[in-house]
Amino acid sequence: MALKSCGYGILGMGMFAPEQVVTNADIEKIVDTTDEWIVTRSGIRERRKIAADEATSDMGLRAARNAMADAGVEAEELDLIIFCTFSPDYGCPSTACVIQDQLGIGGKCGAFDLNAACSGWAYGMSTAMAFLKSGMYKKILVIGADAVTRYLDERDRSTYVLFGDGAGAAVLGETGEDRGFVGQFLIADGTMGQELIIYDSGTRKKTEAQEAKSPYPIYMNGKEVFRFATKALGESLQGALDDAGQGLKMEDIDLLVPHQANMRIIDSAAKRMNIDPEKIYMNIDRYGNTSAASVPIALTEAIERGRLKQGDTLGLVAFGGGLTAAASIWIW
Ligand code: UT7
């Protein structure tokens, strides 16, 4: 029996990567590291960096316009904008409201930011689907964008080499039952919140103990996040397959687009899940970890490169701060 969607799904995708390319050779001049260490430990060769006079919404707007053009959807048709980020332009207004204004549709639709760190866009897609499935809205723009380089410190080589900036976006709406969304699963474990943390970006002042652990804006316990990620990738994907029902199994996935944080995490999770590495789209070598932008950038590229054909089963999966993870299954 052919797989059926809920009748709603992705109408168009778009991405934006800042012009400035920062190679591992450039990074070698700034921090005590080597191209060899970065490539073997993470798979990253270069990443992009946002211009000094730009902010997260500037990247998000370009990705959104590309997604809307791909979908053939005008700004006036949007019922809701969800902007997924942990590096917003401001505490207030939300970056979604900034985008709504820039799209020239101020006052015409709902708009809010969503923070699930690197899982943000994957969480945003599930959120948007809940609005669509309930019949409340017809067309939703979901943007994932982060400017993580703004939080990096040259003295902390353990995080400095890993992150880059970028944005990706999807327009969601009615697709009919032969295409679209089939299932999702969200994970959050707040007990591990301190393992990946950005200090002084909210109302809680950094404590002396935290300062002693890391005098830098970001603290990441790489090994703990790595361990969580390899397990959570499989759990969330299996959860999404179970939610989809219809007898869907891991081997039915034709293309898996995972969060691009570390090549080794994906390799190890793929082995655990028994997924053929050929079915996994990776571009971490060119962008590094772009947080909430990583999955939509990778999906946009995968589509442009002809990696998806009509009727394929697509899996999206992400993990990150919170700690969080999220997965979803779609018929393309
Ligand atoms: O979006 C979600 C967010 N984050 C992640 O997914 C990250 C998950 N974790 C990871 O990707 C990996 O844990 C890292 C890539 C961050 C680190 O790899 P690792 O194999 O866990 O390395 P490590 O932290 O155990 O460090 C190994 C060594 C240490 O030296 P010693 O103690 O063995 O002498 C580090 O000081 O590598 C050293 N090191 C570096 N050396 C050169 C740490 N960072 C660097 C660096 N260049 N940039």
- Please say if 6 is a catalytic residue: no
Confidence at 2, pLDDT banded by 50, 70, 90: confident
Architecture of domain 8-178: 3-Layer(aba) Sandwich (3.40)
Per-residue pLDDT at 262 exceeds 70 = yes
- Mean pLDDT, range 61-90, rounded to an integer: 98
| Residue nearest ligand 1's atom 25 by CA | 223
- Do residues 251 and 273 touch, judged by C-beta distance below 8 A? no
Say which residue the tokens 């700690």 belong to: 323
- Do residues 44 and 24 touch, judged by C-beta distance below 8 A? yes
Say which residue the tokens 């080794």 belong to: 264
Report the range of poorest mean pLDDT among 77-91, 110-124, 165-179, 265-279.
Answer: 265-279
pLDDT digits (tens, 9 = 90+) for 133-151: 999 999 999 999 999 999 9
Is residue 257 lining ligand 1, measured as CB closer than 6 Å?
no
- Mean pLDDT, range 99-104, rounded to an integer: 98
- Do residues 229 and 319 touch, judged by C-beta distance below 8 A? yes
In this structure, what token pair is assigned to residue 55? 């902010």
- Mean pLDDT, range 303-323, rounded to an integer: 97
3-state secondary structure 16-77: ECCCEEEEHHHHHCCCCCCHHHHHHHHCCCEEEECCCCCCHHHHHHHHHHHHHHHHCCCHHH
List of residues 6+ apart from 194 with CB closer than 8 A = 219
Per-residue pLDDT at 1 exceeds 90 = no
Per-residue pLDDT at 294 exceeds 70 = yes
| Residue nearest ligand 1's atom 17 by CA | 222
Report the range of poorest mean pLDDT among 118-122, 199-203, 283-287, 299-303.
Answer: 199-203
DSSP state of 253: -
pLDDT digits (tens, 9 = 90+) for 165-212: 999 999 999 999 999 999 999 999 999 999 999 999 999 999 999 999
Report the range of poorest mean pLDDT among 76-85, 96-105, 135-144, 263-272.
Answer: 263-272
Helices in the chain by DSSP H: which ranges? 24-28, 35-42, 56-71, 95-102, 120-133, 157-160, 208-213, 222-244, 263-273, 284-287, 294-304
**CATH 3.40.47.10 in the chain, residue ranges:** 8-178, 181-331
Q: Give just the sign of the alpha carbon dihedral 103, 109, 112, 114.
A: negative
Q: At what angle do helices 56-71 and 95-102 cross, to 10 degrees?
A: 60
Residue whose C-alpha is closest to residue 140's, from 55, 220, 199, 71: 71
Is residue 218 lining ligand 1, measured as CB closer than 6 Å?
no
279 CB-contact burial (10 Å; exposed 0-12 / middle 13-18 / buried 19+) = middle
- Please say if 289 is a catalytic residue: yes
Set 24, 109, 259, 283: catalytic member? 259
- Please say if 283 is a catalytic residue: no
In CATH terms, is domain 181-331 a member of 3.90.110.10? no
How far apart CA 100 and CA 111 sit, in angstroms, is 7
Residue whose C-alpha is closest to residue 95's, from 83, 81, 107: 83
